[in-house]
Amino acid sequence: MTRAVSILWKATLGFLAVVVLLFVATNFGLLGKMPSIEDLQNPSASLASEVYADDGTPMGKFYLEDRSPVGYKDISPYVIKALVATEDERFYEHSGIDGKSLLRAVKGVVTFDPAGGASTISQQLALNLFGGQRASNKLSRGVQKIKEWIIAVKLERNFTKDEIITYYLNTVAFGDNVYGIRNAARTFFQKEPDRLELNEAAVLVGMLKANTTYNPRRNPKKALDRRNTVLDQMVRNNFLSDADANKLKREPINLRYKKLDANSGIAPYFRENVVKEEVRKLLKDLVKSNGEKYDIYRDGLKIYTTINPRMQLYAEEAVAQNVAAKQRIFKQFSNIKSGSVFKGREKELEKFMKQSDRWRAQKEDEMSDEENKETFFKPVPMKIFAWNAKRETDTTMTPMDSIKYLKTLLQSGFMSMEPQTGFVKAWVGGIDYKTFKIDHANITMKRQVGSTIKPMLYCQAIEEAGFTPETPLQNVQQNFPGYGLVPANGKGARGGSPPMAVAIAQSLNGAAAYLMKQIGPQRFVDFLNRCQVQTKLDAYPSLALGSCDLSLYEMMWMYTMFPGRGFNTKPQFISRIEDRNGNVIVNVAPQIKEVISEVAAYNMCKMMGGAVKFGTATRMNAYGIRAEMGAKTGTTNDNTDAWFMVYTPELLTGTWVGCDENWIHFPSSSAEGYGGAAALPACGMFLQKVYNDGKLGYDNEAKFVKPAIDKNDINYDYFQNIIGPQSPDAEGEDMGNGNIDDYFGGGVDTNGLGQIGGESELPVEDQPKPNNKPKPDTGRKQQDPADKSPKAVLSAPVRKN
């Protein structure tokens, strides 16, 4: 052996020894952490937590990376074949490292040229799961490549080919912060991945080469060319005939792009302000098997709510129709139209200015306060909220004028729930989540409740003080030592001694003050606390007229005891939570407490039915609801807040309407600001749609269940002697009465606005399944929407001779 040959052999053996040592060192983590078998079986890729409606319809997600897993059987075979043909032709033949790819990869390591190797699907999965981004440094990339080979081999030894390709498709990035085939199918085509057609599958697989370059939303021409390349690869690998490929190439990309984010999906106020906080509370004391706490943004939780998609959309439509109609009237009042409502409010306007995103952004750019302020008085092009189909319009105005415009927009909160179970079926926190983030249905958002508090006082009088529906009440001012007269101005205390049933139906302030005199303020506060009011209340006599600030949520919680036959039921948002593997980690049971007798509850239902028959809520008769109803309107001082609460034996619904600032409101002399005019129509339109939708299963002939009555209980219709409607007193102390037509006018006037749709958007093409009852079902059909399109089925491979 010559000296040259000897040197060559030594160099070759030395190189091989270095390579072996390099692989051994890498495998044992000496060149950086390597995943164990357990890590491979439980990849740490963060998964989006998904929120579902009561029928399994996806509502939205919480995520850092938009990633949702899906099983192999739920992936279209077109996707599998397109992926193999394009990314790894010998995927089913190799054991993680393709021979030809290996030679190129080794060359890449030796020459420090990462482009010299071509990864298999198993290697790409290794990078996706445990490497993330490709190293930019050539030496680091060489080590990273070795790690990929080792991990790929381990994957092949511990998983089947189907499991590997599923893992890969669940972790790969598709651009636009969308990860995994399920989210890609939903985002780009509004489909579940097993419904993807061949052309659609080819588009998505084509994106994997460079998900920004071949993104059909950003670069439709390049995406089309890349799709055709994928189709050619499928022909080359005998998955598709030339004729079929040429036919498909002539078709355009039928993109249906819609990415779910905080502003889209179903019930955005509910998801972002209620579900997120409730999940945190429910998981606060729970830990995973590894001892770590659950993370709503990373752990791939499945959160099943009580919301019904149909009812949610009906609620949003009703709120939009009602508020849009009232807004058209509201902006015509002189102080709103001229802007004089802001006269003397310079300090408030400056506060709003400094709270704006524009102010904060310009402060971050180191703009001085004086310069910053000047920009708010210069017209600029902008996009603002408007009552139209898109809920926005382009205009030019000063930022200060836009603040004034937004502040004069009426807002609303709306809830509907089943009083017996507590299941919240619809939740609307405002008029547009994208623009207005304040949730007016939330327990943290409190407004003066006005006369909607009166049923609690009447109920306590029946339950604890021996009153009956026909007990006469003095409708006069009452003197409370140390506090003065209630009501203070006497407008709502015209005299007379109407029975309780009439007094509550017509919301007589003097009668409520008389009851407070008999019960006592502190005793009334104690009763409200037993009825689950969460807000701390001071024992003032004016509580009889609703001078306290409470949330719509609390009002709904209290009112459940009337249709709930004496049982108070906490509003419930979530039915259960599952981990990423489908294991139930939280089951939520209704929280029910008996607070009044069934007889008292029934008497209240019948008395509050008087508001619909001849009192302040007769407008409800215009909506064709035949089920028995109990209702209460509420209006606060100067028409600041408008409330309406209504219930049937199966549903309890409530709404509030007003401006965010108390000093912006309907004129005191206008009947348009009363609860029966400003708030009632939303509930009426909602219930009309619900009861006309036979698929929801609510009974439009439902009656309140009459309890067993002993000899001392009321056993007759105490409305029978009331002839015709009586003019109701004002509900707020400082308001005028309006006239009889303001309360008893029929019909629904939307002022020519036409139909304005709801804010929620379904994330996939299918409609919600017709079922309003949540059911424990861990199967796939619970998680996915109803499927109407056939699953994708690939024809037999085309074999070339």
pLDDT confidence band for 778 (50 / 70 / 90): very low
Query: Rounded to the nearest 5°, which phi and psi values hold at 436?
Result: -120, 110
pLDDT band of 1, cuts 50, 70, 90: low
CATH of domain 411-710+725-744: 3.40.710.10
- pLDDT computed for residue 280 by the predictor: 94
Q: Please give the pLDDT value at position 159.
A: 81
> According to the model, what pLDDT value does residue 761 have?
66
Tokens 């919600």 belong to residue: 768
- The DSSP output letter for 472 is B
Tell me how long the chain is: 801
Burial class (CB within 10 angstroms; exposed 0-12, middle 13-18, buried 19+) of 410? buried
Q: Which of 119-123, 442-446, 536-540, 705-709 has the lowest mean pLDDT?
A: 119-123
Say whether 342 sits in a helix, a strand or coil. Answer: helix
pLDDT in tens, 497-553: 999 999 999 999 999 999 999 999 999 999 999 999 999 999 999 999 999 999 999
Place of tokens 């991945």: 193
CA angle 427/428/433 to nearest 5° reads 130
How many CA atoms does the CB half-sphere of 289 hold within 13 Å?
5
Percentages of the chain per state (helix, strand, coil), in multiples of 5: 40, 10, 45
**Which tens digits make up the pLDDT trace of 627-648?**
999 999 999 988 999 999 999 9
CA atoms within 13 A on the CB side of 448: 21
Q: Which of 438, 436, 441, 440 is nearest to 415 (CA)?
A: 441
Six token digits for residue 247 = 């036919």
What's the pLDDT at 298?
86
pLDDT of residue 732: 41
| Nearest alpha carbon to residue 405 among 417, 416, 395 | 395
**What span, in angstroms and rounded, lies between the C-alpha atoms of 675 and 689?**
21
Amino acid (1-letter code) at residue 133: Q
The pair phi, psi for residue 380, each rounded to 5°, is: -140, 150
The angle at the Cα of 363, spanning 360 to 366, to the nearest 5 degrees, equals 160
Name the phi and psi angles at 73, rounded to 5.
-70, -15
Which pair of tokens denotes residue 278?
């409730």
From the number of C-beta atoms within 10 Å of its C-beta (0-12, 13-18, 19+), residue 509 rates as: buried
The span from the CA of 640 to the CA of 419, in Å, is 28
- Strand, helix or coil at 697? coil
Identify the CA nearest to 143 among candidates 40, 25, 15: 25
Identity of residue 268 = P
With 0-12 / 13-18 / 19 or more C-beta atoms within 10 angstroms meaning exposed / middle / buried, residue 136 is exposed
User: Are residues 752 and 291 in contact, defined by beta-carbon separation less than 8 angstroms?
Assistant: no
> Reduced to 3 states, what is the DSSP secondary structure of residue 289?
coil
Residues 6 or more apart from 300 whose CB is under 8 A from it? 46, 47, 48, 49, 50, 67, 68, 69, 579, 580
C-alpha–C-alpha distance, residues 351 and 359, integer Å: 11
Phi, psi of 272 (to 5 degrees): -80, -35
Residue of 459, 492, 456 lying closest to 477 (CA atoms) = 492
696: tokens are 């929801």
Query: H helices of 520-618, where?
Result: 521-530, 552-559, 598-613
401 burial (CB, 10 Å; 0-12 / 13-18 / 19+) is middle
Identity (one letter) of the amino acid at 434?
A: K
**Omega before 541 cis (within 30°)?**
no
Contact by Cβ (8 Å): 207, 188: no
449 in Cβ contact with 550 (< 8 Å): yes
Burial label for 743, CB within 10 Å (0-12, 13-18, 19+), is: buried
Note whether 97 and 153 are within 8 A (CB): yes
Q: What is the pLDDT of residues 182-200, one digit of tens each?
A: 989 989 998 999 999 999 9
State the Cα–Cα distance between residues 101 and 108, nearest whole angstrom. Answer: 10
CB 166 within 8 A of CB 155: no
pLDDT digits (tens, 9 = 90+) for 668-693: 888 899 999 999 999 999 999 999 99
**Average pLDDT of the chain to the nearest whole number:** 83
Whether 81 has a pLDDT exceeding 60, the answer reads yes
Residue with tokens 């509850």: 601
Neighbours of 797 (CB within 10 A): 12
Residue 225 structure tokens: 């060319």
Q: What is the CA radius of gyration of the chain?
A: 33
Percent of the chain residues past pLDDT 90, beyond the cut: 60
Distance CA 78, CA 415 (A): 44
**Closest to 635 measured CA to CA, from 609, 589, 603, 669:** 669
Confidence check: pLDDT of 776 > 60: no
Q: Give yes or no for a contact between 207 and 175, defined as CB atoms under 8 angstroms apart.
A: yes
Beta bridge partners, 668, equal none
Q: What is the mean pLDDT of residues 743-749?
A: 34
Instruction: Give the dihedral sign, CA 592/596/598/604.
Output: negative
DSSP 724: S
Strand runs (DSSP E) across 714-753, as ranges?
A: none
How many Cα atoms within 13 Å fall on the side-chain side of residue 308?
Answer: 25
What pLDDT was estimated at residue 729? 39
β-strand 549-551 against 446-448: which pairing, if any?
antiparallel
Q: Which residues pair with 572 in a beta bridge?
A: 423
d(CA 639, CA 333): 13
Amino acid letter at 729?
D
Give residue-wise pLDDT tens across range 583-628: 999 999 999 999 999 999 999 999 999 999 999 999 999 999 999 9
Please compute the mean of the pLDDT values over residues 162-171 and round it to a whole number. Answer: 87
C-alpha to C-alpha distance for 728 and 723, rounded to whole angstroms: 14
Residue 766's pLDDT band (boundaries 50, 70, 90)?
Answer: very low
Please give the DSSP secondary-structure letter assigned to residue 423.
B
pLDDT the model gives residue 9? 66
Residue 795: left if φ>0, alpha if ψ -120 to 50, beta else—which one?
Answer: beta
Reported as a pLDDT band with limits 50, 70 and 90, residue 156 is confident
